[in-house]
């Protein structure tokens, strides 16, 4: 009987679902293992072959761990709040709740217009969706020509993942976001205590204020004023809350935010890429707005040191380190010089630090190299220190700088600009006057917004000094700075009074000591990491569990959670520019409405994904976000697989929340993901057609034979290379046929490449099959195609990121249909190392499919479906093959080398086929090993061997027995001067000396010796013999 993968896979999929084979509970008799995938955002485009890559790898590993006797938690869910569903809602009026559900659960597409009926995985109708029929909308999804939108769940199920679906979470379900809101409440109610070095309750802070004011409080805060206990008590509620907001871990503050007008919302720093929004590429500007923020800066140091305890790639760790951006140095005050130009006011450095300019430097050792100062144009001191003479210049410069967007400023790095203020500061050590400039290379938002310029040691200061002809002092011994600054830290300090003769490290220490002794500043650590803006002016996100009374934020009580997303008629901001939730009437909030108004913001996408791995442990708990008991059983995620693009977003925020929940004692670990692997991107193979464009000079009313003309590749090549050959001639003829005689010297041709759906193009010949193209694709309908000589239309191709817009998406569904899920699983693994990005190409898939058929044939299955295997003891050769495979499989799985795992199986089955092995014991063990990779076929064959259905998933992974690999003889490779020449069969038991003697006396080896005596003979027992002549 042939291998009928369709029936086999359907049956087993059903079996697993009906028997809940992969349902898991907290079983203390077994060691636990937690394998997690980054959950997907369910977009309307569906899964493409890139998505399952990581899921397949993690599933193989989860199944492997089960066979090793672990109790494996392997869940899946959906990150289902987010922008695309909302934008779609804005366009169509369809509630994001409905589109989200459609994208996950699937539905029928009625008349290509409204998808109004949800369907179950088997295609039966589940329920009528609540769609307002008066809303006119059209949903078109080019990926599905038939009427069924499959949905993520159905697509995932087809691949045979061993998820415990009873634990599914959706971040947009009220049962889930209830706890996202609850965690927010805890953050609101905590501050970060630097002494205990953890988050503490606000009540503790208030107690401290009531006893001592804030002088004794050592906490992370934006509060710059000090107050006594008496003052605190005298403050009114508003004032008190304002101060507390400066301590809370979740707080409201006016902050400069990345405002994206096109999306009508603020974006986090990691959602802005090159000055435009990550989603949609819209421009982003800076705007001051009252926003919720998360005081992630409080955790900067722990986020940094925690990296040392996790097993992640260096690249991801580096990205996080750079993002946190720790730099150590000190602050230093430069007093202002208050005399008139040309005279010395005689004040000394330590006098009057009032109004002094504070700088932050990482190189206090170079303080004697300071020859001027530069302030950011936005620095608050600029206006007060600027002299009348320079007022106009400074005003102009400030205006220019403010008009430049962040992006322009970045693009303009090479242009050196600046302006002297006319003011001077006093060098705190030498007492010399130094000029104060403003320049936009100094950023207001980093450090203190002011720098002490040391041109000899900093390239930017150097360039600035050269450009404006400012003094450059060399404070390094034996270093040439005539061309560039010397930025290494290995020079000896000179011309620097008490620092002379010291190396940089010692000098830094001494300089900071001196600065602190004189009261001019102190040692300080700065972080680049900024607090994270936590509110979005969107509809489709978690509402805040917050209401306002007299514009004071108040938390709603726990028993009122979740605050449900109210219904609105329109998903756009209000005319007054308020978020969409401002459209919700009091009635829409139902009984949840409190105070003067509810908070109109919603939480950002990363809120729900910052803790979802905890919810999987206890997904149905209505009393807690996760019970302590279950969290203590499952603990950290042991293996996390996902893309590296979340390095500075999700992965940082999830670590932050985990540390916070740890501080508050809810969980007993403070890093969420013990080990992480980042799967590479799967690239698509795009196809292009070449659209001809015609330009002409002085020819009026040039007629075209069709709306568009598409030329084949040969035509394109002539046009692009500027050749006027036979193809150009053909185009000329075509144009002439509709225009009559023309002066072709006045006509120019050029081509534009246009993405063509890869399904229209033959993968091998790259010929377009026009019969396959969408008949409603008006562009092709109204076009003329100029073909090759053989009448085919030859496309261009290019490897680029797989995406719907590039029309190069391959869905797993078509491959599962054609080859089966087991083939797809093994093929995706066979493509190459998991971490590497690779182009998608189905050329090799036959090889993997053939492997499974070859495996099937080993079982001699007759027409009645009976396997015919031998129960006799296995042959020595077969045992050797089996145990070599066990060894390699264990090694490869332990180092996550899934691609070599597949080839191990191929070698094994090839050898067993050559041996004509149909031994039951061997096949039994092989099936267990293979079942993580190809679960369906292994289940089927497992039963055919007489085992109970489903038990293969919890069988024992075969144990390696080295004795089967021991051979009496070994073929020693013999090399001469490192060049391998021949192999000599020798007993394994030979000592190196015996090997040497045997080799030297061997007749074949003597041929290469040419009668000479070898200078040296190296014998590596069991490995190689090398003879040096």
Nearer Cβ to RNA, position 183 or 438? 438
Smallest separation, CB 50 to RNA (Å):
14
Nearer Cβ to RNA, position 277 or 636? 277
Nearer Cβ to RNA, position 133 or 843? 843
Smallest separation, CB 167 to RNA (Å):
32
Looking at 22-173, list the stretches that DSSP marks H as alpha helix, in order from N- to C-terminal side.
51-67, 83-92, 96-105, 151-157
Nearer Cβ to RNA, position 196 or 1006? 1006
Smallest separation, CB 315 to RNA (Å):
3
Nearer Cβ to RNA, position 656 or 830? 830
Nearer Cβ to RNA, position 115 or 363? 363
- 476 class by beta-carbon count within 10 Å (0-12 exposed, 13-18 middle, 19+ buried): buried
User: How far is Cα 535 from Cα 683, in angstroms, rounded to an integer?
Assistant: 34
Hey, what are 100's tokens? Answer: 């989200």
Smallest separation, CB 457 to RNA (Å):
9
Task: Describe the crossing of helices 845-857 and 898-914 by its angle, rounded to 10 degrees.
Answer: 40
In order of 106, 147, 150, 302, the CA distances from 157 in angstroms are: 13, 19, 11, 40
Nearer Cβ to RNA, position 443 or 738? 443
Nearer Cβ to RNA, position 282 or 854? 854
Smallest separation, CB 320 to RNA (Å):
9
Residues 6+ apart with CB under 8 A from 1001: none
Smallest separation, CB 477 to RNA (Å):
21
Adjacent-strand bridge partners of 983? 973
User: How far is Cα 61 from Cα 675, in angstroms, rounded to an integer?
Assistant: 13
Smallest separation, CB 1024 to RNA (Å):
5
Smallest separation, CB 846 to RNA (Å):
5
End-to-end CA distance of the chain: 61
Nearer Cβ to RNA, position 620 or 979? 979
Alpha carbon 398 to its chain centroid, in Å, reads 38
Looking at 468-540, list the stretches that DSSP marks H as alpha helix, in order from N- to C-terminal side.
504-517
Looking at 289-375, list the stretches that DSSP marks H as alpha helix, in order from N- to C-terminal side.
300-305, 314-324
User: How far is Cα 130 from Cα 836, in angstroms, rounded to an integer?
Assistant: 44
Provide the b/e sequence for 492-516 (b: ≥16 CB within 10 Å). bbbebeebeebebeebbebbbebbe
User: How far is Cα 601 from Cα 266, in angstroms, rounded to an integer?
Assistant: 11
Hey, what are 224's tokens? Answer: 């710059």
Q: Which of 476, 540, 482 is nearest to 504 (CA)?
A: 476
Smallest separation, CB 399 to RNA (Å):
16
Nearer Cβ to RNA, position 421 or 526? 526
User: How far is Cα 439 from Cα 409, in angstroms, rounded to an integer?
Assistant: 11
Q: Are 478 and 491 in contact (CB under 8 A)?
A: yes
Dihedral of CA atoms 232, 237, 243, 246 in degrees, nearest 10, equals: 150
Hey, what are 734's tokens? Answer: 């075509």
Smallest separation, CB 626 to RNA (Å):
31
Nearer Cβ to RNA, position 94 or 316? 316
Smallest separation, CB 703 to RNA (Å):
42
Angle at Cα 615 formed by Cα 612 and Cα 619, nearest 5°? 135
Nearer Cβ to RNA, position 363 or 650? 363
Hey, what are 588's tokens? Answer: 């829409």
Smallest separation, CB 353 to RNA (Å):
19
């Amino acid at each position: 009987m042939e291998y009928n993968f369709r029936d086999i896979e359907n049956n087993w999929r059903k079996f697993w679902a009906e028997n809940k084979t992969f349902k898991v509970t907290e079983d203390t008799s077994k060691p636990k293992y937690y394998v997690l995938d980054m959950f997907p955002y369910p977009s309307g485009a569906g899964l493409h072959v890139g998505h399952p890559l990581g899921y397949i790898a993690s599933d193989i590993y989860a199944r492997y761990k089960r066979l090793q006797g672990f109790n494996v938690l392997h869940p899946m869910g959906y990150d289902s709040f987010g922008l695309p569903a909302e934008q779609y809602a804005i366009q169509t009026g369809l509630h994001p709740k409905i589109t989200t559900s459609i994208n996950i659960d699937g539905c029928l597409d009625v008349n290509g217009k409204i998808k109004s009926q949800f369907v179950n995985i088997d295609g039966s109708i589940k329920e009528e969706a609540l769609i307002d029929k008066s809303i006119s909308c059209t949903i078109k999804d080019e990926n599905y020509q038939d009427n069924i939108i499959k949905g993520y769940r159905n697509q995932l199920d087809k691949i045979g993942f061993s998820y415990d679906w009873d634990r599914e979470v959706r971040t947009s379900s009220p049962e889930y976001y209830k706890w996202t809101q609850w965690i927010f409440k805890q953050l609101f109610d905590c501050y970060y205590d630097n002494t205990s070095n953890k988050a503490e309750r606000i009540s503790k802070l208030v107690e401290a204020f009531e006893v001592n004011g804030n002088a004794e409080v050592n906490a992370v805060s934006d509060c710059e004023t000090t107050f006594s206990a008496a003052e605190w008590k005298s403050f009114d509620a508003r004032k008190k809350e304002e101060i507390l907001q400066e301590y809370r871990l979740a707080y409201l503050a006016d902050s400069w935010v990345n405002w994206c007008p096109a999306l009508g919302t603020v974006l986090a720093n990691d959602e802005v890429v090159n000055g435009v929004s990550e989603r949609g590429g819209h421009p982003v500007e800076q705007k001051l707005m009252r926003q919720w923020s998360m005081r992630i800066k409080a955790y900067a140091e722990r986020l940094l040191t925690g990296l040392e305890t996790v097993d992640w790639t260096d690249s991801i760790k580096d990205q996080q380190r750079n993002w946190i951006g720790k730099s150590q140095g000190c602050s230093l005050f430069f007093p202002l010089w208050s005399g008139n130009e040309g005279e010395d006011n005689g004040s000394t450095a330590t006098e009057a630090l009032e109004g002094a300019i504070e700088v932050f430097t990482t190189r206090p050792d170079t303080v004697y190299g300071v020859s001027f100062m530069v302030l950011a144009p936005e620095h608050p001191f600029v206006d007060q220190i600027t002299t009348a003479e320079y007022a106009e210049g400074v005003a102009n410069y400030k205006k220019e700088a403010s008009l430049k967007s962040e992006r322009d400023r970045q693009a303009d790095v090479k242009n050196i600009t600046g302006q002297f203020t006319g003011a001077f500061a006093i060098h705190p050590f030498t007492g010399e006057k130094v000029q104060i400039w403003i320049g936009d290379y100094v950023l207001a938002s980093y450090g203190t917004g002011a720098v002490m310029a040391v041109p000899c040691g900093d390239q930017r200061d150097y360039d600035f000094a050269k450009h404006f002809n400012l003094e450059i002092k060399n404070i390094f011994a034996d270093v040439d700075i005539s061309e560039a600054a010397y930025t290494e830290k290995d020079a000896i300090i000179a011309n620097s009074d008490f620092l002379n003769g010291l190396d940089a490290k010692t000098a830094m220490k001494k300089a900071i000591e001196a600065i602190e002794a004189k009261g001019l500043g102190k040692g300080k650590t700065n972080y680049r990491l900024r607090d994270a803006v936590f509110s979005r002016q969107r509809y489709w996100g978690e509402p805040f569990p917050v209401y306002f009374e007299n514009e004071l934020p108040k938390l709603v009580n726990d028993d009122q959670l979740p605050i449900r997303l109210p219904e609105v008629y329109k998903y756009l901001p209000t005319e007054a520019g308020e978020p969409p939730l401002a459209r919700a009437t009091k009635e829409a909030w139902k009984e949840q409405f409190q105070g003067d108004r509810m908070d109109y913001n919603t939480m950002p996408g990363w809120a729900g994904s910052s803790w979802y791995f905890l919810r999987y442990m206890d997904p149905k708990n209505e009393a807690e976000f996760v019970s302590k008991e279950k969290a203590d059983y499952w603990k950290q995620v042991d293996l996390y697989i996902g893309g590296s693009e979340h390095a500075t977003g999700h992965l940082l925020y999830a670590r932050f929340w985990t540390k916070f929940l740890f501080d508050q004692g809810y969980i007993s670990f403070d890093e969420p993901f013990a080990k992480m692997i980042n799967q590479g991107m799967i690239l698509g193979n795009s196809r292009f057609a070449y659209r001809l464009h015609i330009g002409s000079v002085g020819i009026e009313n040039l007629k075209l034979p069709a709306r568009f003309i598409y030329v084949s590749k040969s035509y394109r090549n002539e046009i692009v290379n500027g050749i006027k050959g036979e193809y150009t001639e053909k185009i000329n003829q075509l144009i002439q046929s509709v225009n009559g005689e023309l002066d072709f010297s006045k006509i120019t041709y050029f081509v534009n490449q246009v993405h063509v759906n890869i399904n229209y193009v033959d993968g091998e010949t790259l010929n377009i099959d026009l019969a396959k193209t969408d008949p409603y694709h008006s562009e092709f309908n109204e076009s003329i195609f100029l073909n090759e000589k053989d009448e085919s239309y030859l496309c261009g191709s290019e490897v680029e990121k797989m995406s719907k817009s590039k029309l190069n998406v391959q869905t797993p569904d078509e491959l599962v249909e054609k080859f089966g899920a087991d083939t797809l699983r093994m093929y995706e693994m066979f493509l190459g190392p998991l971490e590497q990005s690779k182009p998608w190409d189905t050329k090799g898939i036959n090889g993997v499919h053939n492997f499974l058929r070859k495996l099937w044939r080993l079982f001699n299955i007759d027409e009645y479906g009976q396997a015919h295997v031998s129960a006799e003891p296995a042959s020595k050769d077969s045992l050797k093959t089996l145990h070599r495979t066990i060894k390699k499989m264990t090694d490869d799985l332990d180092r996550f080398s899934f691609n070599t795992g597949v080839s191990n199986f191929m070698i094994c089955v090839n050898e067993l086929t050559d041996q004509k092995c149909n031994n039951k014991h061997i096949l039994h063990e092989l099936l267990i090993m293979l079942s993580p990779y190809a679960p369906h076929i292994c289940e089927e064959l497992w039963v055919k061997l007489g085992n109970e259905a489903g038990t293969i998933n919890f069988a024992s992974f075969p144990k390696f027995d080295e004795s089967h690999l021991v051979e009496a003889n070994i073929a020693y490779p013999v090399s001469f001067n490192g060049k391998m020449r021949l192999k000599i069969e020798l007993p394994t038991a030979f000592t190196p000396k015996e090997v040497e003697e045997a080799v030297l006396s061997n007749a074949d080896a003597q041929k290469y010796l040419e009668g000479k005596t070898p200078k040296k003979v190296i014998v590596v027992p069991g490995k190689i013999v090398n003879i040096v002549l």
